[in-house]
Amino acid sequence: MNHLVPNLIFRCWYRPILAGLLSLVLIGLILPIPPALADTFTVFFTTDLPDLNPGDGHCDAFNALSGDQCTLRAAIQESNALPGADTLNLQAVTYTLTLNGSGENASATGDLDILDDLTLTGASAATTIIQGEPGWDDWLIDIKDPAKVQISDVTLRQGMGGIINSGVLTLTNSAIISNAGGRGISNFGTAMLLNSMIMSNTATSHGGGILNTAGGQLTILNSVVSYNIAAGEGGGIKVNSGAITLTNSTISHNQATSHGGGLSGSASLINVTLINNTADADNDGFGIAGGVSGSNIILVNSILARNKKGSTANDCSVITSQGYNLIQTSGGCTINGTTTGNITGQDPLLGALQDNGGPTMTHAPLPGSPAIDKGNPAAPGSGGNACSAADQRGVTRPIGSRCDIGAVEANVSAVFLPLVIKPEN
C-alpha cells in the first residue's frame, strides 16, 4: 500500500477545513462585535433591600418569595454589575431609602451609587418619589465617572443632598426638593437640567440649590431654581469652577449669608429672570450682590430685579452685558460690554412665582411691564444674542412685535370656543 495515499487524503480533507476555520477567524476580526445587551428592570417593590446576587440578571431582593422581587436598590446593583446601558422603570409610588450607611460605593447601603450607564424613568415628578427616611444621613443618588445617566419624571427629596454627579447626567421633567445640608445637586462632571425644579434645598456651605465645581460643565434649560438657602455664597447656585449656561430659566427667592443670593461665580445667562434673591441674609454686613456676584457673568435678554443685600436693594456686582437686559437697581453694579437695549431703574412688573403653564413655575410679565416687546429685535432663535426661539414654558417667541426680556413671554388673552356636542337622532 502506498503510504502517501492516506497522507494525501488527510491533506485534501484538512486543507478546506483549515481554510474554513481561517475564514471564520477573519470574519470575526472584520465584523463588529455586537454591543452588550441592555437590561430593563421594572421596580415594583418600595422596600429598601439589596439584591441577592448582583450580576445574575435577576432583580430580586427576597429569598422567601417566588419570582423576582425587584427593589430600587436591587435594580441599581444589577445594572452596575451587568454590561451595557440598562433601563429602570419606576412606578407612581414613593421609594423610601432606609438602609443607612456611608463610605461604600456598591449601593448595598446608603446612597444609590450608579456606576454604569443607566436610564431611570418615573411615571411623573408628582407621583414617583425617591426620598430618605427621617434622619437619612447620605446623598440620595451618587453618579460615578464615567457613567452616563438619564433621570426623568421623578422627585428626589429629603436626602442629605439630592444628587452628586461625577459622570454625565441628564435630568428631565424632575424635581430636586427639600434636601438638607448637602444642597440639591453637586456637579463635578457634565450635567444638563431640562424642564426641572431645584427648590427648598439647603447647604451648610456654598450653593444651596446647586454647586458646580472641579471644572464641571452645567447647562440649565427651561428650569427654576428657587427657595434654596446657603450658609455661604450662592443661595441658588455657586460656581467654584467650570462653565455653566442658563437659558429660559428662573432664579428666584434664594438666600445666601454671604455673596450672590441668586448666583455666585461665572455664568452665562440667556433669557433668564433672576428676582427676589437675598445676599447677606443674616444682615451681619458681610456679603455683596443680592442677585449675581462674580467677575465673569454674561447677561443677555435677562431680568435682574428686586434682589437685596441685607435689606438694601442690590441686583449685581459686576456683569458683562450683551444687550437687552432689564436691571432694576444698577447702583453699585459695574456694567461692562454693550448696553444696547438695556433698561435700568424700572420695576419689571412681574407676577408671583406660580404655574403659568409649562412644566415649571415662572414669573410672568404683568400688563404694562417694561420688559414686554423689549428683547433683542433679531428673529428669535437666529443665533448670536437673539432671544431663544421659545420661552421657559415652551411658548414660541415672539408673541408680540418683539420677544420679551426675561424667561417668559407675556400672555395674550386667550379665546375659548365652546365645545358643541350634537345629540344623536
Q: Is the pTM of this model over 0.85?
A: yes
Which residues face 335 on adjacent strands?
Answer: 319
Residue 329 has pLDDT above 60, yes or no: yes
Residue 9 has pLDDT above 60, yes or no: no
Between 80 and 103, the more confident residue is 80
How far apart are the C-alpha atoms of 186 and 113, rounded to whole Å?
14
In the chain, % of residues over pLDDT 90: 82
The DSSP code for 118 is E
User: Strand order in 129-132's β-sheet?
Assistant: 94-97, 129-132, 155-157, 175-177, 197-199, 224-226, 250-252, 273-275, 303-305, 326-327, 343-344
Residue 32 has pLDDT above 50, yes or no: no
C-alpha cell at 107: 449601593
The pLDDT-based confidence of 103 (bands split at 50, 70, 90) is confident
**Cβ pair 248, 219 in contact under 8 A:** no
* Residues 58-71: tens digit of each pLDDT: 999 987 676 789 99
* Degrees to nearest 5, angle at CA 151 with 147 and 152: 160
Q: What's the structural domain count of the chain?
A: 1
**Cβ pair 129, 154 in contact under 8 A:** yes
Cα-trace Rg, the chain = 28
* Residues 124-145: tens digit of each pLDDT: 999 999 999 999 999 999 999 9
* Residues 353-411: tens digit of each pLDDT: 999 999 999 999 999 999 999 999 999 999 999 999 999 999 999 999 999 999 999 98
Position 142 scores a pLDDT of 98
Q: Is there a domain that residue 407 lies in?
A: no
Mean per-residue pLDDT of the chain: 90
Q: Is there a domain that residue 4 lies in?
A: no
Cα separation values, 174 from 153, 180, 303, 418, Å: 5, 18, 25, 34
* Residues 207-237: tens digit of each pLDDT: 999 999 999 999 999 999 999 999 999 999 9
* Residues 271-306: tens digit of each pLDDT: 999 999 999 998 888 888 999 999 899 999 999 999
C-alpha cell at 92: 407612581
Q: Is there a domain that residue 127 lies in?
A: yes
Residue 109 has pLDDT above 70, yes or no: yes
How far apart are the C-alpha atoms of 256 and 17, rounded to whole Å?
77
Residue 339 has pLDDT above 70, yes or no: yes
Position 29 scores a pLDDT of 38
* Arithmetic mean of pLDDT, 236-264: 97
**Cβ pair 114, 73 in contact under 8 A:** no
Residues whose CB falls within 8 Å of the CB of residue 356, separated by 6 or more in sequence, listed in order: 362, 364, 393, 408, 411
**Cβ pair 165, 118 in contact under 8 A:** no
* Arithmetic mean of pLDDT, 225-251: 98
**Cβ pair 262, 233 in contact under 8 A:** no
- Give the residue numbers spanning the domain of 253: 40-351
Residue 276: which CATH number? Answer: 2.160.20
Q: Is there a domain that residue 21 lies in?
A: no
Position 37 scores a pLDDT of 66
User: Strand order in 255-256's β-sheet?
Assistant: 202-203, 229-230, 255-256, 278-279, 308-309, 312-313
Q: Is there a domain that residue 418 lies in?
A: no
Position 360 scores a pLDDT of 98
Q: Is there a domain that residue 397 lies in?
A: no
Which residues face 363 on adjacent strands?
Answer: 353
First to last CA, the chain: 103
The pLDDT-based confidence of 24 (bands split at 50, 70, 90) is very low
Residues whose CB falls within 8 Å of the CB of residue 340, separated by 6 or more in sequence, listed in order: 323, 324
* Arithmetic mean of pLDDT, 151-158: 99
| Identity of the residue numbered 132 | G
Q: Is there a domain that residue 330 lies in?
A: yes
Q: Is there a domain that residue 15 lies in?
A: no
